């Protein structure tokens, strides 16, 4: 990921990359006998691809899913997040595998967590795309490179011998894991990505880039990788005249915000020209954007909301892509691995939010994935039909893709205003290539920036849906009748056409009905209302017309036919539940009962279920509930209420504290060392690194000169007094000593703010820490200040991101009040505040994640029961910090530790409140029907 992807996209479209000779790969005889650029596959019966799509186990697939980085989510919560992916209809998960996360110290690697993640992916029925780097980017510290690698100071991401050697070291570790879990070995891994967005890496020639990519590919193949290799935004992989490059499929990444049509179609057209034998795909489709200190939170940014995801995704499909992965599908939390300047939250405004909550973007993503679950195989080989579809409104564009006698119509509003229009399109099933005009009466309506994806001549629900101006959510067999769920905004007209050989029977509220005898079609005009309604077509098809908001929260579950007395056959019975339910958690049956566990927000709810026979009873959480049943449409309606969330906020007004002095003897372990990169000292922290020199003498020398390895923040104190002109992130600073030093001996203390390294750009491999400190009249002749002591971890630290919450050198003081402010002067001190709070026992039926809201006049670090949960900065934007359920003690005491920087006064804390995320709180409710 990068901070200005839009610029990169434009340069990628405009700038050709030259050709240079690369090393031919081993085992390429078969590939080289094929026409230039075509690929042979080691296991084509298991997985292969062509210009249209991937084919897995002999079946064409449309890959659609999201990125989910397992280190950004506590392991016990993986299943919850993946269940939400599953309910959204995703079929693939994408993850980076961060080298520095698994091997932070050279020779000490641990992949237990990764293997558990892969096994869970398999268990839950997903395919997995493994992005193994070595470089990841991803707003992750050093872009995934370990500090012990960057310490070697060779050119990263190059064909330099040290780069090749260390990359081989990493691949020697990771490839045996990947090999074991490939789909060819019964695992879920279908694709392996090497490198990442290599187009934007500067200072390496095209020939060197090609050599490096070739070397990584050879490592992968020699390491047993026999599923396809892919990469993204890497021009060298598109140079298919080189055998190694021909075996690597390159894909696009898109972060256009609202510049969708300007960026996406040209880039995909370029990809098609340059990768003619690979499918069009998007390894990263904008699922949101990250947040940086001093900026806006992801959810507050323009162009990344729910209303943008739908047209962006449908544009990608319209342009012929048959693979996309939302970046992010679930963002999570950076914890102590954030790249430089990145907030702790990695919420990303993703479909699944940081605490696991669901919002409008999730339901938009789900609606599209539901359609792809039904029609993905059609779209996988659909071809664009130039000029086949047209709109009567200048601001509404229409295109068509056709696969044999089926296809899809894409309709887009382009002027950011609601439009009324008519459509004409080519009928793919017509032998005479007829043109169809819709609607028969009146006009259609489309909202500002809205885009629709409409099926043409598709087999659904036991018939053929000729076309529909409303989108399809789902269909199924409801015992002996089929059902079809269509949705649109309330108040809008719609038109539906079905195949029928004889004069049709249509029951229900319609605007008009036409029977086209020649084309064996029934055309039905409808209008969508605030509530769902049903049509019965030819007595065997129930068409549910559902308002958009309720449709996107409609869930279907399959039940065994034996539940229904007298029913024959073995096909499951599909029952849709139309409601405002946030999530279908589970479903099942017992005897003559069926049930569904759905999550609901507090308040009143109406649910409509399609039930074949009249149920005798309905139970909502065990309580008898009245049923309003309509026999002709099989709709059973029930009303119920979800109580208010029982959890209450906890406001902290007092803390206990101790003060850490940089010059203090009890402030932790200190190393005596000359100034050198912190990486040379061992483990690199995420926090404040403190320096103190032996007292220096001042006899009127002019200035102090301070040099650092990187442009990280720092605070400089002379004799305990802040030096503002030196307290910044400049790598070279100097200041007059006269205002701070005194004749004789003086103290010097420096706090170096080491909070991650860049994840992208020329400084990705930067070293950290103080380089030199000297005193004199000029930098060249200045005398170095020597005899340094360095502290990387404070006394309570146990490891990176973990402290002992009980430890307080000198003991915790008596409770003191927070708030009220404090002195503005910055001091070489850190105030450790301890806030204890009791958390009530968890209620299994409630999904109610917790957060701490924190505001202060000083930067701070936050720990929950000893685990790092957040970095707060006064420049914002983050004030809410997720408290993972796995770190909380429910039904017991919890300790929140706050480390205030550069003060000895807890009064700087303005707000300290532990509260649920009310916007995501839902209660699991069991809806049960009995016969």
What pLDDT, in 10s, does the model give residues 275-319?
999 999 999 999 999 999 999 999 999 999 999 999 999 999 999
Angle at 767 between CA 761 and CA 770, to 5 degrees: 130
- Which CATH number is 254's domain given? 3.20.20.80
Query: What is the C-alpha R_g of the chain?
Result: 31
Final residue in a domain of this structure, among 377, 394, 427: 377
Q: Is residue 831 part of a domain?
A: yes
* Parallel, antiparallel or unpaired: strands 713-718 and 721-722: antiparallel
| H, E, C per residue of 335-388 | HHHECCCECCECCCCCCECCCCCECHHHHHHHHHHHHHHHHHHHHHCCEECCCC
φ/ψ of 221, rounded to 5, equals: -65, -40
The 10 Å CB-count burial string (b at 16+, else e) for 768-787 is: bbbebbbbbeeeeebeebee
> Considering the domain boundaries, does residue 75 fall inside one?
yes
Angle CA 874–877–880, to nearest 5: 95
Q: Are 247 and 229 in contact (CB under 8 A)?
A: yes
Please tell me whether residues 632 and 711 are part of one structural domain. no
Q: Is the distance from CB of 55 to CB of 47 less than 8 angstroms?
A: yes
Q: DSSP readout, 589-651?
A: EETTEEEEEEEE-SEEEEEEEE-SSPPSEEEETTEE---EEETTTTEEEEEEEEPPP----EE
Same domain, 39 and 179: yes
**What strands, in cross-sheet order, belong to the sheet with 650-651?**
650-651, 909-916, 850-856, 880-883
The helix or strand, by DSSP H or E, that contains position 10, with its residue range, turns out to be helix 5-14
Q: What is the pLDDT of residue 828?
A: 98
Cβ distance 898 to 861 under 8 Å? yes
The predicted-structure confidence for 852-883, as pLDDT tens digits, reads as follows: 999 999 999 999 999 999 999 999 999 999 99
Confidence class for position 444, pLDDT limits 50, 70, 90 = very high
Q: Is residue 428 part of a domain?
A: no
State whether 109 and 255 are in the same domain.
yes
pLDDT, position 667: 72
Residues in a beta bridge with 393? none
Q: Which range of residues forms the domain containing residue 579?
A: 553-644
Pairing mode of beta strands 189-194, 229-232:
parallel
DSSP state of 105: B
Question: Is 525 within a domain?
Answer: no
The CA-based dihedral angle spanning residues 758, 759, 764, 770, taken in that order and rounded to the nearest 10 degrees: 30
pLDDT digits (tens, 9 = 90+) for 650-671: 999 999 999 999 988 777 889 9
In a domain, 445, yes or no: no
**pLDDT at residue 665 in the model:** 74
Q: How far apart are CA 143 and CA 905, in angstroms?
A: 37
Is a pLDDT exceeding 80 seen at residue 262?
Answer: yes
416 in a structural domain: no
253 & 341 share domain? yes
Are residues 177 and 246 located together in one domain of the fold?
Answer: yes
How far apart, in Å, are the Cα atoms of 305 and each of 217, 364, 389, 453, 865? 37, 10, 29, 19, 34
Give the model's pLDDT for residue 19: 25
- pLDDT given for residue 31 in this prediction: 35
Last-in-domain residue among 791, 822, 848: 791
DSSP 695: P
Assess whether the previous peptide bond of 877 is cis (omega < 30° from 0): yes
**Closest alpha carbon to 762 in 347, 217, 323, 158:** 158
Q: What is the mean pLDDT of the chain?
A: 95
pLDDT (average), residues 839-857: 96
Identify the domain boundary among 345, 377, 409.
377
pLDDT bin (cut points 50, 70, 90) of residue 548 is: very high
**For residues 648 and 843, what is the distance between their CA atoms, to the nearest angstrom?**
13
> Do 576 and 640 share a structural domain?
yes
* Rounded average pLDDT over 690-706: 95
**What band does 130 get if pLDDT is binned at 50, 70 and 90?**
very high
Residue pLDDT, tens place only, 532-546: 999 999 999 999 999
Q: CB of 765 within 8 A of CB of 142?
A: yes
Q: Indicate the angle between helix axes 78-88 and 360-380, nearest 10 degrees.
A: 60
DSSP string, 435-502: EEEE-SSS-EEE-TT-EEEEEEEEEETTEEEEEESSEEEEEEEETTEEEEEEEE-TT-EEEEEEE-SS
Residue 7 pLDDT more than 70?
A: no
Residues 817 and 774 in one domain: no
pLDDT tens digit sequence for 37-90: 678 899 999 999 999 999 999 999 999 999 999 999 999 999 999 999 999 999
Domain shared by 632 and 721, yes or no: no
Is the same domain home to 638 and 758?
no
The pLDDT of residue 925 is 99
Are 186 and 276 in a shared domain?
Answer: yes
Is 268 within a domain? Answer: yes
Report pLDDT for 701: 84
CB 849 within 8 A of CB 882: yes
Contact 714, 750 (CB under 8 A): yes
List pLDDT tens digits, range 159-213.
999 999 999 999 999 999 999 999 999 999 999 999 999 999 999 999 999 999 9
What is the pLDDT, as a whole number, of residue 22?
32
DSSP string, 111-151: -HHHHHHHHHHHHTT-EEEEEEES---TTBGGGG--HHHHT
806 and 832 together in one domain = yes
Pair 290, 348: CB distance under 8 Å: yes
> Mind listing the pLDDT tens digit for each residue in 493-536?
999 999 999 999 999 999 999 999 999 999 999 999 999 999 99
Q: What is the CATH number of the domain that holds 751?
A: 2.60.120.260
- Measured from the Cβ of residue 495, the count of other Cβ atoms closer than 10 Å reads 22
| % of the chain residues with pLDDT over 70 | 96
The number of domains in the chain is: 4
Q: Is 720 helix (H, G, I), strand (E, B) or coil?
A: coil
* Residues 242, 115 share a domain: yes
407 within some domain? no
Residue range 325-335, pLDDT digits in tens: 999 999 999 99
Instruction: Please say if the pLDDT value at position 27 is more than 50.
Output: no
Whole-angstrom distance, CA of residue 297 vs CA of residue 881: 12
Per-residue pLDDT, 278:
98
């Amino acid at each position: 990921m990068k901070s200005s992807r839009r610029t990169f996209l434009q340069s990628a479209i405009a700038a050709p990359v030259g050709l240079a000779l690369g090393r031919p790969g081993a085992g390429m005889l078969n590939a080289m006998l094929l026409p230039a650029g075509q690929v042979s596959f080691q296991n084509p019966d298991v997985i292969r691809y062509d210009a249209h799509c991937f084919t897995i186990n002999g079946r064409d697939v449309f890959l659609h899913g999201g990125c989910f980085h397992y280190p950004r989510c506590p392991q016990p919560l993986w299943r919850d997040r993946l269940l939400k992916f599953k309910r959204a209809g995703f079929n693939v998960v994408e993850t980076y595998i961060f080298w520095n996360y698994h091997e932070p110290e050279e020779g000490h690697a641990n992949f237990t967590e990764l293997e558990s993640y892969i096994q869970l992916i398999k268990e839950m029925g997903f395919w997995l795309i493994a992005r193994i780097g070595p470089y990841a980017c991803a707003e992750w510290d050093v872009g995934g490179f370990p500090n012990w690698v960057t310490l070697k100071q060779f050119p990263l991401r190059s064909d330099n011998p040290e780069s090749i050697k260390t990359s081989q070291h990493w691949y020697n570790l990771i490839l045996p894991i990947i090999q074991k879990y490939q789909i060819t070995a019964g695992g879920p891994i279908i694709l392996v990505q090497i490198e990442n967005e290599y187009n934007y890496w500067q200072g390496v020639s095209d020939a060197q880039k090609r050599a490096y990519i070739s070397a990584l590919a050879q490592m992968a193949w020699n390491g047993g990788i026999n599923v396809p290799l892919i990469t993204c935004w890497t021009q060298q992989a598109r140079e298919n005249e080189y055998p190694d490059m021909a075996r690597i499929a390159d894909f696009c990444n898109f972060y256009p915000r609202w510049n969708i049509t300007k960026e996406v179609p040209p880039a995909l057209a370029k990809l098609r020209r340059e990768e003619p034998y690979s499918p069009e795909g998007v390894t990263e489709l904008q699922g949101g954007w990250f947040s940086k200190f001093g900026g806006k939170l992801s959810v507050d940014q323009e162009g990344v909301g729910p209303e943008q995801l739908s047209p962006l995704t449908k544009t990608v499909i319209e342009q012929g892509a048959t693979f996309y992965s939302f970046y992010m599908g679930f963002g999570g939390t950076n914890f102590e691995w954030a790249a430089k300047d990145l907030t702790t939250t990695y919420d990303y405004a993703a479909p699944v939010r940081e605490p696991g909550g669901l919002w409008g973007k999730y339901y938009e993503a789900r609606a599209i994935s539901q359609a792809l679950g039904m029609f993905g195989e059609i779209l996988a080989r659909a071809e664009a039909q130039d000029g086949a579809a047209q709109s009567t409104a200048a601001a509404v564009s229409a295109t068509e893709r056709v696969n044999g006698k089926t296809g899809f119509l894409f309709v887009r509003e382009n002027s950011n205003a609601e439009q009324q229009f008519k459509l004409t399109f080519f009928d793919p099933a017509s032998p005479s290539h007829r043109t169809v005009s819709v609607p028969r009466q009146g006009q259609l309506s489309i909202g500002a920036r809205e885009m629709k994806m409409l099926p043409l001549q598709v087999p659904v629900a036991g018939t053929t849906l000729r076309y529909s101006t409303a989108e399809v959510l789902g269909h199924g067999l409801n015992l002996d009748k089929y059902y079809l769920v269509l949705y649109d905004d309330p108040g809008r007209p719609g038109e539906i056409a079905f195949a029928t050989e004889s004069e049709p029977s249509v029951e229900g509220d319609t605007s008009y009905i036409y029977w086209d005898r020649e084309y064996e079609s029934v055309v039905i005009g409808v209008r969508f209302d605030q509530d769902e309604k049903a049509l019965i077509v030819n007595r065997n098809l129930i068409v549910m017309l559902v308002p958009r908001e309720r449709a996107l929260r409609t869930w279907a579950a399959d039940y065994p036919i034996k539940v229904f007395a007298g029913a024959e056959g073995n096909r499951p019975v599909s029952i849709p539940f139309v409601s405002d339910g946030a999530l279908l958690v589970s479903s099942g049956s017992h005897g003559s009962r069926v049930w569904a566990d759905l999550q609901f927000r507090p308040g009143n709810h109406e649910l409509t279920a399609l039930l074949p026979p009249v149920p005798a009873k309905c139970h909502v959480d065990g309580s008898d509930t009245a049923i309003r049943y309509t026999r002709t449409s099989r709709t059973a309606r029930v009303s119920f209420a979800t109580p208010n969330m029982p959890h209450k906020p906890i406001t902290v007004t007092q803390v206990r504290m101790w003060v850490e002095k940089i010059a203090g003897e009890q402030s932790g372990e200190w190393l005596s060392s000359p100034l050198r990169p912190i990486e040379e000292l061992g483990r690199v922290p995420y926090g404040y690194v403190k320096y103190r020199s032996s007292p220096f003498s001042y006899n009127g020398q002019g200035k102090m000169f301070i040099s650092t390895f990187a442009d990280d923040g720092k605070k400089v104190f002379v004799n305990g007094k802040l030096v503002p002109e030196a307290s910044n992130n400049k790598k070279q600073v100097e200041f007059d000593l006269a205002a701070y030093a005194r004749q004789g001996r003086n103290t010097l203390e420096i706090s170096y703010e080491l909070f991650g390294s860049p994840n992208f750009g020329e400084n990705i491999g930067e070293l950290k820490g103080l380089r030199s400190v000297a005193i004199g009249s000029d930098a060249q002749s200045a005398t170095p200040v020597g005899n340094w002591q360095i502290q990387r971890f404070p006394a309570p630290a146990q490891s990176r991101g973990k402290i002992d919450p009980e430890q307080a050198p000198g003991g915790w003081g008596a409770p003191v009040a927070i708030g009220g402010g404090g002195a503005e002067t910055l001091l070489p001190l850190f105030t450790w505040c301890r806030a204890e709070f009791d958390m009530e026992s968890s209620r299994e039926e409630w999904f109610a994640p917790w957060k701490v809201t924190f505001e202060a006049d000083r930067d701070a670090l936050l720990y929950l029961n000893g685990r790092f949960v957040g970095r707060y900065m006064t420049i914002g934007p983050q004030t809410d910090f997720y408290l993972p359920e796995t770190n909380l003690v429910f039904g017991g005491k919890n300790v929140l530790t706050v480390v205030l920087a550069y003060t000895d006064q807890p009064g700087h804390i303005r707000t300290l409140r532990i509260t649920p995320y009310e916007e995501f709180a839902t209660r699991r409710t069991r809806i049960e029907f009995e016969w």
